[in-house]
Amino acid sequence: MRHIIGSVALVAVLAAAASFIQNEFYLRTLFMICVYFLCAAGMNVLLGFAGQKSLGQAGLFAAGAYAVALLTTRYEVGPWIALVLACAVSAFFGILIAVPSLRVRGPSLAMVTLAFGIVIEKLVTEGSEVFGGAMGIYAIQPLHIGGVPFTMVQWVWFGLLLCLVTHLLLRNLLRGRYGRAFLSLQADEIAAGAVGVAVYRYKVLAFVIAAVTCGLAGALVAQQNQYINSDFINFHLSVFILLLVLFGGSGSLYGPLLGSVTLVIIGALVARWTWIEHFVNGALLLFALYAMPKGLAGVFGSLFRKLGVGSHGASALSPGAGRAAPRLPTRAVPKSASAGLLSAEALNKAFGGVVPAKDVSVLLTEGHIHALIGPNGAGKSTFINMLTGIIQPDRGKVTFLGSDITRQTVHDICRHGVARTFQNLRLFKDLSVRENVLLGQHSRMRNGFLSSLLGLPKAWREEAKALEKVNGILAFTGLSQYADAPAGSLAYGLQRRVELARALASEPLLLLLDEPAAGLNPQETAELGQLLVRIRDEGITILLIEHHMDLVMSISDHVIVLDYGQKIAEGAPSKVQADPRVMEAYLGTTVEAA
């Protein structure tokens, strides 16, 4: 609430100050700060949070500008309705640019979006019959009140209002479930899917948000100028929007404001020397990348932390962390689980000449600790990857609680109640331990996009409920004291436990653990065994891949053995230990000698 009051007060002060400015140049500079803030705010969601690099924002700016131009000049649509429709047109183009971009990432993604921007630039330049070419489109209807067009002061007021609304809405969205989901995409898409984040859907959403804000900015420029041509749309605009985010501080809610204010003022100061403007922007981009990797927001944030401004204790964020007997949040096991929680029937997978799974069939019983063992290269991790949707089997079927999940997506399988950890740690290392575990709650939260965007009570209730559950999980796993530490800063054994806690946060019915004791010392391994037994006692079924035989044999109810992609034995631990084929697989002896 204090942030909202402070933001409203700041905008009110700026609006009041603008009413006393008579110089048209200063007013236009303020207006352009608002325009570029809108561009940067959406781009910050796409780049700073979701980690998707785009060089096609000029094309989205053009979509909004030319949409409002054509609607008001050719189709005589009212300027206010045209402004709204321009945002819808930009959202459509955002989806259009996102779909092919979902198949690539990194530099390839930047190239795809750059191609989109170039195509739009050429289209508006060469399409003189529709877009006016270099001559452009004139007589665009400006916004008005009672038939009287906005004055320059009113344009500044309206721009400030839009910036305030955009900032508050995005703040609502990014400080909760959706913000964490976007950050998980940037850190590790495979791990994001495993905790229930619909990776492709959130990528598209990030592109749409960036498109709408950029299209809105373009529409405002077209309506304020009452004119638009191809000179407004060029590659330099895309680079400048990227620079706004990087220089201000990508991933910070205040970065777009710092970037737009700083760079627009610098641009105004060097405007009389047009030849130097691009040089200055390029120099600032290099400076931001090398000297300020976290931008101005990172510089000011570090300074404030040194001064102790805005710091708070962990206890304020840790309600319920000190409960005496913490319990895990769990979901009820359906009656259909009595016949078997999960069954895999004749799963096959081949990678060229390597066949890590040959007709593997497994039945997992509810309430047991199952162990999957075998020599290195036996196909254990491939088997778990097929169960969780990361790898699609060539043949076979996976059934969970009576439903076929063989071809379902990773996040849908998580939503059904299957959680996992990874052989190689896949933590979101820059996020705190608490935020990592909160991401595990993603699939269990019920606040949608609109309730999160608008900051409705339902969204905050879901956040509070998730936080309470997460604090209980942290206490259960002994991680409460590390809740606010970056996950990547912890010792390796603790990082393993954080990944386990994150999996538990999805409230699974079945927990798949891929070598959870790898890299642990004997004491940590023993503590892990005790923790797994406690998890089993909470009603969660476990399938464990592990090479520590002492751990496997001491806690497992049922052991399955793979060798060269085939199941060679299964049963009680004592039975498996005495099986000659198991001895042969591990010791290299013949069956007869074993």
Neighbour order of strands in the sheet with 369-373: 418-420, 510-514, 541-545, 369-373, 558-563, 566-571
The amino acid occupying position 397 is K
Residue 458: exposed, middle, or buried by beta-carbon count in 10 A (0-12, 13-18, 19+)? middle
Last residue in a domain, options 272, 307, 342: 307
- Report the distance separating Cα 200 and Cα 461, nearest Å: 27
- Helix, strand or coil, per DSSP, at residue 305: helix
Give the bridge partners for 364, in sequence order: 342
State whether 343 and 289 are in the same domain.
Answer: no
- 520 within domain boundaries: yes
State whether 60 and 181 are in the same domain.
Answer: yes
Residue whose structure tokens are 């001064």 = 307
- H or E element, residue 399: strand 395-400
* CB of 230 closer than 8 Å to CB of 119: no
State whether 530 and 571 are in the same domain.
Answer: yes
State whether 530 and 383 are in the same domain.
Answer: yes
State whether 580 and 479 are in the same domain.
Answer: no
Give the bridge partners for 144, in sequence order: 149
pLDDT of residue 134: 83
- The beta-strand segments (E) located in 401-540 are 403-404, 418-420, 510-514
State whether 136 and 249 are in the same domain.
Answer: yes
- 17 within domain boundaries: no
* CB of 433 closer than 8 Å to CB of 498: yes
State whether 441 and 293 are in the same domain.
Answer: no
Last residue in a domain, options 444, 474, 505: 505
pLDDT of residue 433: 96
Ranges of residues in the chain with a pLDDT under 70 are 274-275, 308-325, 335-339, 587-594
R_g of the chain computed on alpha carbons: 28
- H or E element, residue 541: strand 541-545
- 561 within domain boundaries: yes
* CB of 120 closer than 8 Å to CB of 237: no
CA separation (Å) from 284 to 30, 266, 280, 530? 21, 10, 6, 55
State whether 512 and 498 are in the same domain.
Answer: no
pLDDT of residue 288: 79
pLDDT of residue 133: 83
- Helix, strand or coil, per DSSP, at residue 344: strand
- 317 within domain boundaries: no
- 326 within domain boundaries: no
pTM of the model: 0.92
pLDDT of residue 322: 43
HEC string of 211-278 equals HHHHHHHHHHHHHHHCEECHHHCCHHHHHHHHHHHHHHCCCCCCHHHHHHHHHHHHHHHCCCCHHHHH
pLDDT of residue 589: 60
Query: How many beta carbons lie within 10 A of that of residue 126, not counting itself?
Result: 12
- 16 within domain boundaries: no
CATH of the domain at 170: 1.10.3470
- Report the distance separating Cα 183 and Cα 205, nearest Å: 13
State whether 395 and 513 are in the same domain.
Answer: yes
Give the bridge partners for 563, in sequence order: 566
Domain housing 481? 428-505
State whether 55 and 175 are in the same domain.
Answer: yes
pLDDT of residue 317: 38
State whether 254 and 125 are in the same domain.
Answer: yes
| Token duo for residue 310 | 């805005």
pLDDT of residue 86: 97
Residue 36's closest CA among 216, 173, 206? 216
- 256 within domain boundaries: yes
- 320 within domain boundaries: no
* Phi, psi dihedral angles at 349 (to 5 degrees): -150, 135
How does pLDDT run across 349-407, given as a tens digit for each residue?
A: 999 888 999 999 999 999 999 999 998 888 999 999 999 999 999 999 999 998 999 99
CATH of the domain at 346: 3.40.50.300
State whether 65 and 183 are in the same domain.
Answer: yes
Query: How many beta carbons lie within 10 A of that of residue 568, not counting itself?
Result: 18
What's the number of domains the chain is made of?
3
Last residue in a domain, options 505, 527, 559: 505
The amino acid occupying position 87 is C
pLDDT of residue 316: 34
